Each structure stands twice: as structure tokens, then as C-alpha cells.
Chain A
Amino acid sequence: MEAFGLLMHGFAVLLTWKTLALMMVGLVLGIFVGVLPGLGGPNGVAILLPLTFTMDPTSAIVMLSCIYWGALFGGAITSILFNIPGEAWSVATTFDGYPMAQQGRAAEALTAAFTSSFIGSLVAVLLITFLAPMISSFALKFGPPEFFSVYLLTFCSFVGLGREAKHKTVISMSLGLLLAGIGMDTVSGQLRMTFGTSELLRGVNFLVAVIGLFGISEILLTMEERLALRGHAAGISLRVVLRVWMDLPKYWVTLLRSSFIGCWLGITPGGAIAASFMGYNLAKRFSRDPESFGKGRIEGVFAPETAAHASGTAALLPMLALGIPGSGTAAILLGGLMVWGLNPGPLLFVEHKDFVWGLIASMYLGNVVGLVLVLTTVPVFASILRVPFAAVAPMIVVSCAIGAYAIQNAMFDIWMMLGFGVVGYVFKKIGISLAPFTLALVLGNRAEDAFRLSMIGAGGDLKVFWSNGLVGSITTLAIVLLFWPVIDKAFGSVGRLMRPAKAPG
């Protein structure tokens, strides 16, 4: 009940004309970046972040999170109408969404996508409302070894559970951690890895790297491919919306299952991509008519969209409660919090109640307003795709440069952004994931500080990470997750050996 009272306080903080206006601006900008090919949630948030530098933290984070919700909604428009998944997690939506559009049921597919996005996000926001304060009050008991073990768990689960080649995840993560260490050492004040360059004294700013890695590299990648779009325009009538909503109870098992999968994979760093595919595959597996999937079945839109959005939203839970982002976009939002001098983690709930509960309230309100907005403005946003890419691309480049410069007022950062753009392009093409890099760049200094403080406290004895039940369990779990593929394989082999051989004939 305490959470409910605090949430009401959050709504009171939020319900001002200024914040509501910013919410609308954020949602429109978000849908815009979601619809544009070559942009998406993380890119949009990274590029538009400098817009919020002069705002107060609550207004700023409300606007940024609304850009995120808007981008999540906008991604479904291109997936269904144009068969172009704006994000990897929208791929599964195209399986049935695009066939529905081809059959003249685009409005139905879009309504299903937006509604299920809303349901997925709502379930995750409820989870955040009631779980985040509990986790953060538990985390208040954490010391440096516990925090380091949680960081280790995050890093190890990325390596062990990720779908990419393991060595590539290690490369991405260690490179991010190394770049985070450039500049002045926070403990001793000594300079590291600056090679006598005054520009590197500031270190590598996380946002500059993200703008280059996501914004510029996406422009290069999008430009590389053919951009002849062929799709459907759609307007959504109230009749279609009501019909889809009336049918919703029929799919309650799918919606609930996908929400659960999404929340689970959002909190652990499984991510929205895995969630959407898992949601879709399970809906197909448990269906009485699995053959109809991929041919325009509405359940095939409900399942991945619910799971992806529940995952995207639930990724904010570890960010708020522990200061550990569950996704790339959550990592960018976390970077934003640091820019405003806020320290994400358990203390945030104690020191900045207005901010935290204002943000959580904005998640509810942003989703409701977003749903109404997308349902009423689909034709407008779908027509954005008529704008030639040759006009959109240089505008995005300029926005990226403005964003990179505005962070520290340094021309060097614009060059660094360009360099990271090339790195992002090459890394994406050779299969080095950028999410662990982003995560490591954000958490690098915190992880190192936690490690050094733990080691100083223990006189250099690594046993400190097994010094009590809590830290020992987390560290052991981290190691298990790191070697999970090997363990899983070993269990599989043992299982096969234990199974009785089939009798011949």
C-alpha cells in the first residue's frame, strides 16, 4: 500500500501542464524516430538527450522515457505496413503482422500491436511499482563486494546467455570497460591511458560513444541497403479498435504468458529480442492450429509485441533499483540520470522520491497517452516514410553532431562520435554486439570502484566475494552463468547417456 501512496504522489508531481506538454512532445518525437528507418528507441533517446540538459531532472526523464515509449509504438507501424522491422525485436511482429496488412487487415494488426504493447508495458510497470522499492530497500544493505558481485553477474550473464559468439561479447565488454577507465582515476587521481593528450583528460563520454555507435552507424548501414519501400497505408477506425478489444479476453493466456516472459527477460539481461521470439514461439507451440501462424494470425502479433514491450519496460527495474541497466536504452537513460547529477541505485528511492515516483507515474500516463496518440495518428506517421531518405539522413547526422557537442562543448567529441560511428558500423557487420559495450562503458567506473574498495577492505583477498551468503551466492551464480553454455552442454550429454536406449526393431 505504501507503493500505491507514493505512486499517487508521483502523479501529483507529474500532473502539471508543463510536464504533460513535454510528455506529448516526447511521445511524438518517439513515434517519429520509431517510424524512421535507421532510427529506433536507443538512437532516438541518445540523439535527443541534449535537448533535456537544461530541464529539471523530472521533466527531462519524463520526456526521455516518453521518447522511448513512442519509439516502441512507432516500430510496429513499419513492421506491419512495410515489413521493415525498425528494431530487431520487431522482426517477430512482421511474421503475422505483414500478412495481415496484405490481406487488408492492417488496421486490425496495428490495433493489436499497439494494444498488446500497452498491456505488456502495463504489466511491467506494475511490477516496477511494487518490486522496485522492495529491491532497493534490500540493496541498501549492500556493500562494495555485493555491488561488485551484482555487476559481475550482469557482465557474466551477457557473456553466458547472449546469442552472439562468446569471444565477441568479451571483446565488446572489455573494450567498453577499458574506454570507461580513460582519463583521471577516481581513487588515486592519476591519469590513465591519456597518452599526453589533453582532450582525453575528460575521458570518453558515454553519450558521445552511444551517439556514434547507434546514430551514425545506423545511417551508414541504412544507406548501404536498398530503400525502396513498398507497403500499405492504413487508417484505424473506432469500429476496428472496439472489435479487437472485444476479442482480447480470448487471448488472455497468450497475453499473460508473453507478459511474464517479457518481464523475466527484461530484468535479466536476456533482452527484448529474445523475449519477442520466445513469446511468438510459445504462442505457436501451444496453439491448437500452429500451421496458421505466419499467415496472418492476430495472436502472432499479440505474442511478440506484448513480450517485447514488457521486456523493454522491465529493463528499467534493475536500473532504478540497483543502478544496473537491463538494456541498451536503459543504459542510455542511466547515463542521462548521471548527467543531471542523480545516482541511480537504491539511494535514489530515498533521496529523490519525487523524481522516482514521477518517473514511474509517467510510465503509466505515457503509455495511455501513447496508445491513444498512435491509434489516432497512424496515417500521419506512416506517411513520414514518403520523405526521401536523402533528406532524412543529413538531418540525423546534424542532430547527432549537435548532441555530441552539447554534452561537453567540445569539438573533439564530434570527431570522436564519427570514429565511434565507423566502429559501430564495422562491429555490427561482423557480429560484435554493441549492447555489452554500452553497458560496460556506463558501469565501468562503478564496477572498478566497487572492486577496488572491496579489495582494499579485504587486504587484497579475493575470498571477500564469498565472505557471506549473499555475496557468495551472487558471485557463484555469476560464474555459473559465465560458463552456462558448457554446463548446459554437459547436462545435455549426461541426459542423453541416462536415457534408456530404444529396443531394436
Chain B
Amino acid sequence: MSNTEIEIVVDDPTAPEADSPDVASIRVVDVAVSLLLLALAATLGFDNWRTGIAWDSTGPQAGYFPFYLSVILAGASLYGLVAAFLSRKEAAESFVTRAQLRRVLLVFVPTLLFCLATQFLGLYVASFCLIAGFMRLVGRIALWKSLLTAFVFTAIMFVTFDIAFDVIMPKGPLEAALGR
């Protein structure tokens, strides 16, 4: 037995409460997903039918294979729709509670903003903002630690990709001002 055993405890101050109300059941989401897949199958099926699902001198036309896949997808989605309506278990199971959804949005919204910022500010500036902002606002970590971590990580990424591996990332006005 090792004598270096100590307990590690990392508490999460923003953990979701256990009694939070449900936002949606698995059944509701399953039905919605089945309907969306059905619509997707219809759209892709129609597009492939237009491309051509018959045979010509070169064999099956370009839409042949994907058209029948659309039919299979539509069939499985329809089955899923009926199964979701009939399932009692799915109706009782929670897809996400309000507290869980809040936490998911806490990471999804900044990621969405990061993608948007990458388009206009470049990847490195957007990365710095995302890491520093997320650590400070969501993790409630000290400002200096957040800024330092963001700076060090972004710098490592820049050196690794842009300099060492020559993988050029999207740049924005700051990099342009610095001549990159």
C-alpha cells in the first residue's frame, strides 16, 4: 500500500441543484428530432430525385444511392416518431432540467460568441477573450489568473500552429496591426 494517499476534493460552486424542474422530457425531444429528420430526409430525397435516380449508360445516376438512403432515413424516423409516442418510459424521463440547461447555455453561448468573434477579430484574439472571460465570469477565478492563463494558452497555440507547424489561422485587425 502506498503511503502517499491523500484525498483530492474539487468542489463545483455552480453545480446544478438536484430539484430543478424539467424543461423537456426525452419523448418531446425524440419527437422533435424525428420530425426534423423526416423533413431532412424529404428535402434530401427530393434533391436527389431531381439529380436523377434512374439508370443511364454509365450506370446508376448520381442521386440513386442517396435517394434510397433518404427513404431509409425517412422510414426509420417515422418508426422513431411512432415509438416515441407509444413509449411511457420516454415520457417520464427528463431530457434536461432548467438548472442543467442554464449550465449548458453557460458554455454554448460563449462558444457561439467565440465563433462569431473569430470571423471578425481573428482566432487568437477571440481565444484570449473566450478563455479569460469564461474563467472569470463562469468559473469565478481571479482576474489575474484568468488573463495570464488566456495569454499563455493563446501564445502556445500561436507558436505551435502559426510558427512551428505552419498552419495559418484566421487573423483580425490586431494581427494586421502587428504585421502578421
Interface of A toward B, CB cutoff 8 Å: 50-51, 53-54, 81-82, 104-108, 165, 167-168, 170-171, 174-175, 177-178, 181, 185, 187-188, 190-193, 195, 216, 219-220, 223-237, 240, 379, 382-383, 385-386, 388-391, 393-395, 397-399, 401-402, 405-406, 409, 411, 414-415, 418, 421-422, 425-427, 429-430, 432, 448, 451-452, 455-456, 460
Contacts and interface: CB of A to CB of B under 8 A. Distances in A.
Contacts of A190: 51-52, 62
Contacts of A427: 33
Contact of B139 (A53, A174, A390): A390
B55 interface: yes
Nearest to B168: A409
A402 B106 contact: no
B141 A224 contact: no
B58 A188 contact: yes
B29 A192 contact: no
- Looking at chain B's contact residues, the main secondary structure is helix
Q: Which 8 A-B pairs have the closest CB atoms?
A: A390-B139, A456-B59, A235-B4, A107-B2, A226-B15, A185-B62, A170-B76, A190-B62
Given A181-B69, A228-B11, A383-B8, A418 B51 contact: no
B58 A411 contact: no
B55 A460 contact: yes
B59 to A, nearest CB: 4
Contact of B12 (A233, A389, A430): A389
B86 to A, nearest CB: 13
B131 A388 contact: no
B62 A165 contact: no
A175 B10 contact: no
A231 B148 CA distance: 29
Interface residues of B, number: 81
B143 interface: no
Contacts of B59: 187, 452, 455-456, 460
B4 A188 contact: no
Contacts of B104: 220, 223-224, 425
Residue of B47, B55, B77, B107 with highest tally of chain A CB at under 10 A? B107
- Looking at chain A's contact residues, the main secondary structure is helix
A231 B7 CA distance: 6
A398 B127 contact: yes
B37 A175 contact: yes
A237 B4 CA distance: 10
B92 interface: no
A236 B58 CA distance: 65
A418 B1 contact: no
B147 interface: no
Residue of A51, A228, A385, A402 with highest tally of chain B CB at under 10 A? A402
Contacts of B80: 167-168, 171
Contacts of B103: 223-224
5 contacts: A171-B73, A192-B51, A223-B103, A385-B10, A398-B153
Contacts of B96: 224, 429
Contacts of A104: 1, 5
Contact of B111 (A167, A397, A448): A397
Contacts of B35: none
